[in-house]
Amino acid sequence: MAEHFQLLQTDTATAARRGRLRTRHGVIETPIFMPVGTQGTVKSITPQHLHEIGAQIILGNTYHLNLRPGSELIRDLGGLHRFMGWDGPILTDSGGFQVFSLAKLRDIRDDGVAFASHLDGRKLFLGPREVMTIQQNLGSDIAMVLDECPPWPCEHDACARAVARSLRWAGQCRQIAAESGFLAAGHHVFAIVQGSTFDALRREAAESLAALDFPGYAVGGVSVGEPEPEMLKQVGATTPFLPAHKPRYTMGLGTPPQLLKMVALGVDMFDCVLPTRVARNGLVFTPDGPMNLRNEQYRADARPIVAGLANYTANFSRAYLRHLTLAGEILSCTLLTIHNLHFYLDLMAQARAHLEAGDYGSWHRAWIERYEAGAAARVAGAS
Cα–chain center distance at 212 = 23
Report the Cα–Cα distance between both ends of the chain, in Å, rounded.
57
Q: What's the pLDDT at 126?
A: 92
Query: Do 267 and 367 fall into the same domain?
Result: no
The identity of residue 277, as a single letter, is R
8-state DSSP, 335:
H
Q: What's the pLDDT at 119?
A: 83
Residue 1 banded pLDDT, cuts 50, 70, 90? very low
Q: What's the pLDDT at 285?
A: 98
Query: Do 9 and 138 fall into the same domain?
Result: yes
Query: Do 83 and 26 fall into the same domain?
Result: yes
Looking at the DSSP bridge assignments, the partners of residue 22 are 27
Tell me the Cα Rg of the chain: 21
The identity of residue 34, as a single letter, is M
Say which CATH number the domain at 133 has: 3.20.20.105
Q: What's the pLDDT at 99?
A: 60
How many domains does one find in the chain? Answer: 2
CA 368 – CA 255 distance, rounded (Å)? 11
Q: Containing H/E element for 204? A: helix 199-210
Q: What's the pLDDT at 266?
A: 98
For residue 334, pLDDT beyond 90: yes
The residues, any chain, with a CB within 8 Å of residue 145's CB and separated by 6 or more, are: 94, 96, 128, 131, 166, 169, 170, 173, 174, 189, 190, 191, 192, 214
Residue 144 banded pLDDT, cuts 50, 70, 90? very high
Query: Do 132 and 32 fall into the same domain?
Result: yes
Q: What's the pLDDT at 118?
A: 81
Which of 272, 288, 314 is at the close of a domain? 272
Query: Do 240 and 331 fall into the same domain?
Result: no
Q: What's the pLDDT at 93?
A: 94
Q: What's the pLDDT at 145?
A: 98
Percentage of residues in the chain with pLDDT exceeding 90? 89
**Residue range 238-263: mean pLDDT, rounded:** 97
Query: Do 191 and 294 fall into the same domain?
Result: no
Of 158 and 116, the one with more pLDDT:
158
Query: Do 34 and 166 fall into the same domain?
Result: yes
Taking the model in full, what pTM does it have?
0.97
For residue 169, pLDDT beyond 90: yes
Coil, strand or helix at 243: coil
Query: Do 257 and 303 fall into the same domain?
Result: no
Query: Do 176 and 216 fall into the same domain?
Result: yes
| pLDDT tens figures, 292-309 | 999 999 999 999 999 999
CA 3 – CA 167 distance, rounded (Å)? 24
Query: Do 194 and 52 fall into the same domain?
Result: yes
| pLDDT tens figures, 13-52 | 999 999 999 999 999 999 999 999 999 999 999 999 999 9
What letters, b where the CB count within 10 A reaches 16 and e where it falls short, cover 7-19?
Answer: eebebeebbbbbb
| pLDDT tens figures, 51-77 | 999 999 999 999 999 999 999 999 999
**Domain ranges, residue 353:** 279-382
For residue 234, pLDDT beyond 50: yes
β-pairing verdict for 248-250 and 269-271? parallel
CA 233 – CA 255 distance, rounded (Å)? 16
Q: What's the pLDDT at 102?
A: 67
Query: Do 11 and 141 fall into the same domain?
Result: yes
Which of 251, 272, 293 is at the close of a domain? 272
Q: What's the pLDDT at 103?
A: 58
| C-beta atoms surrounding 293 within 10 Å | 25
For residue 2, pLDDT beyond 70: no
**Residue range 232-260: mean pLDDT, rounded:** 97
Which of 254, 272, 290 is at the close of a domain? 272
CA 147 – CA 280 distance, rounded (Å)? 31
**Residue range 316-326: mean pLDDT, rounded:** 98
Residue 122 banded pLDDT, cuts 50, 70, 90? confident
Would you name the residues annotated as active-site residues? 93, 271
Q: Omega before 275 cis (within 30°)?
A: no
Angle between helices 156-179 and 199-210 (to 10 degrees): 10
| pLDDT tens figures, 76-108 | 999 999 999 999 999 999 977 776 676 566 888
